[in-house]
Chain A
Amino acid sequence: MELSLPARERRFVASLFRRKEAAILLALLIMVIVIGTIAPRFLSGTNLAQVSRQISFVTIVALGELFVILTGGIDLSVGSVMGWAGMAAAWAMVGLGWPVGAAVAFGIVAGLAMGAINGSLIAWVKIPPFIATLGMLWFAYGNVLGLTKGVPITGLPAGFLTLSRGTLLGIYVPVWIALALAIVAHVVLTYTAFGRRTYAIGGNEQATFLSGIDVDRIKFVLYAISAGLASISGIVLSARLNSAQPDTGKGWELDAIAAAVIGGTSLAGGSGSVLGVVIGACIMGVLRSGLLMLGVSTYWHISIIAVVIVLAATLDVKTKGK
């Protein structure tokens, strides 16, 4: 049998360059260098630490979005679930007096419940993901408004705040959390049967189904994962804001999806990577902070960010080759 076996090292380096993430990574580096040159303070240790914390929240949500987009689905409810979970955790601490750990777990479970509803509707009732999660967006947000009457929950215990204020080796806790979750996500997607099947469903759902794989159950789990990750982000974000705001997370679904798409995730399903998503989130975060630091008038920020997002996505499409 003929199997060509090029030198392992040569193959590895070449593959690094061919990786489709190389293009957006390059774009990110160029951006950082340009901004750093014009405004050197951008590259200071303090600022980089802060910017990475700012980026970490979207990253976590975007990871969840990656899981569902890989199967050709989408989760529009992540923003509302962030607020819902944050509120649940805050209420457990302030209203029920629970310790931080239990309250955080409670918040995550509350978010997972919403994800389970999404998953059931999509996997078994066969409602299109767009519609099911759009409904959940309103449902979760409406619940938050109804239960809080628009009043934020404040007075969160100091221990809870370390979730966002604490540092380890000079890096903020939320960044560590995002990093850890990214690594777990990468391992799951790349090395487990579950991850392989997720990609397979996105690549050809029929073929995966006929190969004896329980496609419905996998979809259910994916939407739960998305909600779970959004919950974690929402809870840590509440720690940062020192309060559970009803509007926490509002509009974040678009940021999360944008980060995933810039990172090379195909909305049709079947391709995308954790590394790409992380780079995508970094590009957006660096831009947002960088423009402000460059003194660019705020009036223009949104347009500039939009242009860069489209450019990054185009760059990614063009370099995917084939």
Chain B
Amino acid sequence: MRTRACRWLALVTTLLPMVVSAAEKTFVMVPKGVHPYYEPCYEGFKAAAKKYGVNVEKVDPQKFELPMQVQVIEDLIARKVDGIAISALDDAGLVPVISDATKAGIEVITFDAPARSSEALTYIGTDNKSAGVAAGKKMAELMKGKGKIVILQGGLGASNLNDRTQGFKEALAKFPGIEVLQVVDVAGDFSVATNKTETILQTYPDLTAIFAVSAEGAPAAASVLKEQGKGGKILLAGFDDLKDTLEGIRDGTVAFCIVQKTFKMGWLSVEALLAASEGKKLPKETDTGVLFVTKANVGTYMDEMKKEFAAR
């Protein structure tokens, strides 16, 4: 009698952890490549994972190249993970591999950069166009409706950047007193952005403002303005919160920056993958929105972002 109970107990105690761990799902985040931008995304991912009791990982493609991202996803398919959140390097290029993942029973969503032609269940990220519009509105406010502005764009072929520029220009179009002089390609490169800002300042001595739709633009332009003593005299604003951009906000060289709610992206990704795995239907897109960082909240905005989720 006792031996039978012991045997049953032994069975249960060996099987139970296996059953429990089988119930614990594994979700993997696949960014575009190695970049500090994804750190807050992954923090949000991890925080949500902790709350919901799932395993999470991040696997970076070695370079910002489509074949590498495809390979990472294929490896994950072979490992039979439960869900993948991808920041898509390309739209059409990921269609086949996302289809394979879906067929293998893996839930696939995109975050930060969409792949609208694919079978990804949803896109969680910034709506770049409306972000651009919001930025344009704020810039026009600061310019008091008139003046000349140059836009710095890190690569004229990037669709997300083009969306931002388009939105930005649309918002400015409502102000006949504002003239967009040029959209300048800075190739995502710091030193190119620096050189071009210098030249722009020489070309347009009556420039009112500079706006950067990609991360390297604002800090590069800020350093040039500072060197020439024009910090604060020419309005400067841009996307993303690199350390030097925040520095610029603190010392007044940068009027504001637009931060993508990367933490939120990570968090919502976990929620979306979980919901999908439970068979719930997901909305096509979720705009995580943007946050403006100015001198007022430059020290606190990070915590503000996270507080939104601490309550949940």
A residues neighboring B (CB under 8 Å): 39, 41-42, 44, 46-47, 50-51, 54, 57, 145, 149-152, 154, 165, 237, 240-243, 245, 247-248, 250, 288-289, 292-293, 295, 297-299, 301
Contacts and interface: CB of A to CB of B under 8 A. Distances in A.
Nearest to B186: A298
Contact of B203 (A240, A293, A297): A293
A299 B156 contact: yes
B54 interface: no
Contacts of A54: 195, 198
Given A150-B35, A154-B243, A50 B202 contact: yes
A292 B196 contact: yes
B156 A288 contact: no
Contact of A241 (B35, B184, B191, B199): B191
Given A241-B220, A247-B190, A165 B244 contact: no
Interface in B177-207: 182-185, 189-191, 194-196, 198-200, 202-203, 205
Given A47-B202, A245-B190, A298 B223 contact: no
A247 B216 CA distance: 12
B34 A241 contact: no
A145 B190 contact: no
B36 interface: yes
Size band of the interface chain B makes with A: 20 to 34
Contact of A57 (B35, B36, B191, B198): B191
7 contacts: A241-B191, A241-B223, A247-B189, A247-B190, A248-B190, A299-B156, A301-B185
Contacts of A57: 191
A149 B36 contact: yes
Interface string B20-54: 00000000000000111000000000000000000
Contacts of B308: none
Contacts of B182: 295, 297-298
Nearest to B216: A245
Contacts of A51: 199
A319 to B, nearest CB: 30
B191 A50 contact: no
DSSP class of A's interface residues: helix, strand, loop or mixed?
Answer: helix
B227 interface: yes
Nearest to A237: B191
A241 B220 CA distance: 7
B203 A292 contact: yes
Looking at B34, B199, B242, which has the most chain A CB atoms within 10 Å of its CB? B199
B189 A240 contact: no
A248 B200 CA distance: 22
Given A289-B195, A301-B185, 13 more contacts: A41-B203, A47-B202, A50-B198, A50-B199, A50-B202, A54-B198, A57-B191, A151-B36, A237-B191, A248-B191, A289-B199, A292-B199, A292-B203
Given A150-B36, A298-B156, A298-B183, A292 B200 contact: yes
B34 A149 contact: yes
A141 B174 CA distance: 46
Nearest to A165: B227
A297 B151 CA distance: 13
Contacts of A245: 190
Nearest to B195: A54
Contact of A240 (B184, B194, B199, B205): B194
A141 B242 CA distance: 21
Contact of B202 (A46, A250, A295): A46
Contacts of B202: 41-42, 44, 46-47, 50, 293
Contact of A293 (B183, B199, B223): B199
A125 to B, nearest CB: 27
A61 B147 CA distance: 40
Contacts of B191: 57, 237, 240-241, 248
A288 B195 contact: yes
A248 B188 CA distance: 11
Which A-B residue pairs are the 8 nearest by beta carbons? Answer: A298-B185, A47-B202, A293-B203, A54-B195, A50-B198, A150-B34, A292-B199, A151-B36
B215 to A, nearest CB: 11
Given A241-B190, A245-B190, A298 B184 contact: yes
